[in-house]
Amino acid sequence: MISRIIEWCARNRFLVFTGVLLLTLAGIWSLGHIPLDALPDISDVQVIIHTNWEGEPPNIIEDQVTYPIVTTLLAAPRVKAVRAQTMFNDSYVFVVFEDGTDIYWARSRVVEYLQTIAVRLPANVHPAIGPDATGAGWVYEYALVDHSHKQSLADLRSIQDWHLRYQLATVPGVAEVASIGGFVRQYQVNVDPNKLLAYGIPLSTVIDRVKSSTNEVGGRVLELSGTRYMIRGLGYLKSLDDLANVPVMAKNGTPVLIKDLGTVSFGPDMREGVAEWNGEGETVGGIVVMRYGLNALNVIDGVKKKLAEIKGSLPPGVEIVSGYDRGGLISESINTLKHSLLEEAIIVSLVIIVFLFHFRSALIPILTLPIALVISFIPMYYLNVSSNIMSLGGLALAIGVLVDAAIVMVENGYRHLSERPASGGEVFGEINSSNGPVLHKETDASAGKSAKKAVERERVRILIDAAKQVGPALFFSLLIIVVSFLPVFLLEAQEGRMFRPLAWTKTLAVGFSSLLAITLVPILMVIFIRGKLRPESENPISRVTQALYLPVLRLCLKYRKTTLLLNLVFLVVTFPLMFRIGSQFMPPLFEGSSLYMPTALPGIS
C-alpha cells in the first residue's frame, strides 16, 4: 500500500504540491492564532463559591453556610472533590470537577445547586461564584504611584475602584480586576453611648434609620393642564451633612438627628491587605486575572493598550507602573525555545549537507523539516494545546527524528542513481575501431530529445523504485515512535496536563513527517537529485567514518560473546545510578522573572 501511495504521488505532483501548500498556509495561520503561555495550565477544573457574612465567627459560618453548600454540591454531576475553608466573615468552597469538564457547564451546574439551597441559608447571606479563571490566570499586576504626594491612599483606592477597574474589565479576555492596598472610603457614624443613654435610643434604631435614610421612592404621575409630571421622593445622601441631618426619632416634638448622637465623617474600612512599592511606602495596586483558556499574551497586550489610553485621564503626578508582567516570561521562554529550534535546524542541515555531500539532495530533508513542524500546529490549534515550553519542547525533541526518514530515502535514491551503469555511449554514439567515430541517424535534434526523455524517464524510475524500496520500512518505523508516546497520554491530573502537550506536539510532528516521507519526499527527490553525482565511495566523510567504524564492527562480530557480555555489564552498572539520580516535577526556569508571594499566620495585622 505504501508503495502504491508513493507511485500515485509521483504521477500527481500538482495535487501533492497543492495539498502541501494549503496545509502549510493553514499551519502558518494556526501558528499565529494558537494561545501563547510560558507553561501549560495544570489547574483543576474548579468553581469557587465565596460567601460573605459580616461579623460572624468561623464556627457559625461553618455550620450555617459552609456545611449546607458542601453537602449539597457533593451530589452534583462530574464532581471529583469539594473542599472548603471558613474564616472570620468569609466562607470559600472549592468544587473540583473531573478532567475534561467544560468550565462553563460546571459553573452553570453550581449555580443551579446554589439556587436549591438558598432557602436553607441565613436571610442576609448570598453566595456568589468566582470569576471564570484558573489558578494560572494571574497575568498582570500594576501599581498606582503618586510622585506628587498629593493623593492619599484613599484617593488612590477610589481611582482604582471607580475608574481603572471598570476600564480594564472591558479588555477582551479579562475575567476580573482585583484591587489591593490603600483604604476603601466609608461614611462612618461614630455614636456616643452616653448620648444614646441620655435620649433613651437603642443602637439598633440608629442603624435602621441610617439604612433607610438613603433611598428614593416613586409616586406615579400628576396631571396638570394636560401635562403629566412624574412624582418621586428624593432621598439619596450626597454629602456628610445629609447623613448628619437624618432624624432618628422625636423627643417632646423636637427631632433627634444623627449629629446629636455622635459624629459623622469619612473614614477607612477595615483592610485585609497592604501593597508596597519598591520600599517607597504604601500604594494601591490592581491584579488582572485572565479568563480561562485564552491567549495570555494577547490579554496582556490589551491591558497595556488600555492603560496607555487611561494614562491621560489620571490626576497630575499619578503614574501606573507594572509590578508583574507574565508577558516578559512568556516572550523570553518562547524565544529561548525558538533559538534552540533554529540552532537544531541549522545543525541538522549542516550534518545533512556534509554527509550527503550533495547540496541539492540535502535541500530535501531541509525543506520537509519546517513543513512538518508548521503543519503540526493545525491540530494543536483545534485541540486547544497552547504554545508553551512543554509543547515547543516536544518539537525540539522531534527535530532529529523528523529528518531521519527523508535522509534515508534521499541517500538510498542518491546511491542507486550514482551507482547505475553508464549507458550514454549506447544512446548518442559509439566508436568504430576502423572507421573512427560513427554518428547514427539518431544524432539529429529529434533523436537527441527522445534520448534525453528516455534518460529522464530512467532516472525518475530509479528514484521512485529507491523510494518504494525503503518507504514502507521508514513509514512504519516512524509510526512505532508515535506509538511509543501513547503512555504519556494516559497520565492523569497535574502530570497529565503538564506533559500531554509535549506528547501531542512530538506525536503530531512525527506523524506528519511520516506522511511527508511517502508523499512529498519522493517528488522532491525527482526534482533535486540530478546533475553530477559522486558515488558513496568518493565521499571523503563517508570514507573516514567507514574507516573508523568497519574495524570496530569486524572486531565485535569476531568476539560476539565478549561484546554481549560487556553491554550487559554496562546495563547492570547503570541500575544503581538510576536510583541515585534526584527527581523533581519540572526543571527550574531562569528567564529573568520571579514572583514572591509571602504568607502569614491567620490573625496578623
Are 72 and 208 found together in one domain? no
Residue 380, classed as helix, strand or coil, is helix
**What pLDDT is recorded for position 445?**
64
Stretch 517-545: mean pLDDT, rounded?
80
Average pLDDT over residues 325-343: 77
More confident residue, 485 or 551: 551
Note the pLDDT of residue 523: 87
The total number of residues written for the chain in this structure: 605
Question: Residue for cell digits 400628576?
Answer: 222
Residue 115: inside a domain, yes or no?
Answer: yes
Checking if the pLDDT of 62 tops 70, the result is: yes
Crossing angle of the two packed helices 540-558 and 326-356, in degrees rounded to 10: 90
Looking at the fold, whether 54 and 7 belong to one and the same domain comes out as no
> Do 90 and 196 belong together in one domain?
no
The answer to whether residues 491 and 506 belong to one domain is yes
**What is the number of structural domains in the chain?**
3
The answer to whether residues 509 and 394 touch, using CB atoms and an 8 Å cutoff, is: yes
Which of 133, 148, 170 is at the close of a domain?
A: 133
The pLDDT tens digits for 258-270 are: 888 889 888 888 8
Nearby residues of 386 by Cβ (< 8 Å), 6 or more positions away: 34, 35, 36, 37, 40, 41, 295, 501
Q: Are residues 476 and 510 in the same domain?
A: yes
CA atoms within 13 A on the CB side of 141: 18
Give the integer Cα–Cα distance in Å for 447 and 428: 9
User: Is 576 a member of any domain?
Assistant: yes
User: Does one domain contain both 123 and 71?
Assistant: yes
The span from the CA of 596 to the CA of 605, in Å, is 20
Work out the angle at residue 448's Cα, subtended by the Cα atoms of residues 443 and 450, and round it to the nearest 5 degrees: 130
Same domain, 129 and 205: no
In a domain, 276, yes or no: no
User: Residues 212-248: pLDDT tens digits?
Assistant: 888 878 778 888 888 888 888 877 888 888 888 888 8
Q: Tell which residue, 438, 398, 417, 306, has the closest CA to residue 360.
A: 417
* CATH code of the domain covering residue 124: 3.30.70.1430
**Is residue 330 one of the residues assigned to a domain?**
no
Q: Are 401 and 257 in the same domain? A: no
In the structure, how many helices (H) and strands (E) does the chain have? 23, 17
Query: Is residue 219 in some structural domain?
Result: no
The verdict on 385 and 482 lying in the same domain is yes
Scan for cell 553491554, then name that residue: 567
Please name the residue ranges forming H helices in 245-317.
258-261, 296-310
What is the 3-state secondary structure of 199-221? HCCCHHHHHHHHHHHCCCEEEEE
Q: Are 37 and 386 in contact (CB under 8 A)?
A: yes
Beta bridge mates, 284: 144, 181
Phi-psi region of 181 (alpha: psi -120 to 50; beta: other; left: phi over 0): left
Q: Is there a domain that residue 281 lies in? A: no
Range of the domain at 208: 186-213+235-268
Domain C-terminal end among 268, 285, 309: 268
pLDDT range class, residue 440, cuts 50, 70, 90 = very low
Question: Inter-axis angle of helices 493-528 and 359-375, to 10 degrees?
Answer: 150
Both 239 and 199 in a single domain? Answer: yes
List phi, psi (to 5°) of 184: -85, 120
pLDDT at 443 over 60: no
Q: Calculate mean pLDDT across residues 500-512.
A: 86
In a shared domain, residues 412 and 561: yes
| Together in a domain, 33 and 48 | no
Domain presence at residue 31: yes
Q: Are 392 and 502 in contact (CB under 8 A)?
A: no
Identify the CATH number of the domain in which residue 202 sits: 3.30.2090.10
pTM: 0.73
**Residue 99 resides in a domain:** yes
CA 434, chain centre distance (Å): 81
% of the chain surpassing 90 pLDDT? 17
Res 276: pLDDT? 85
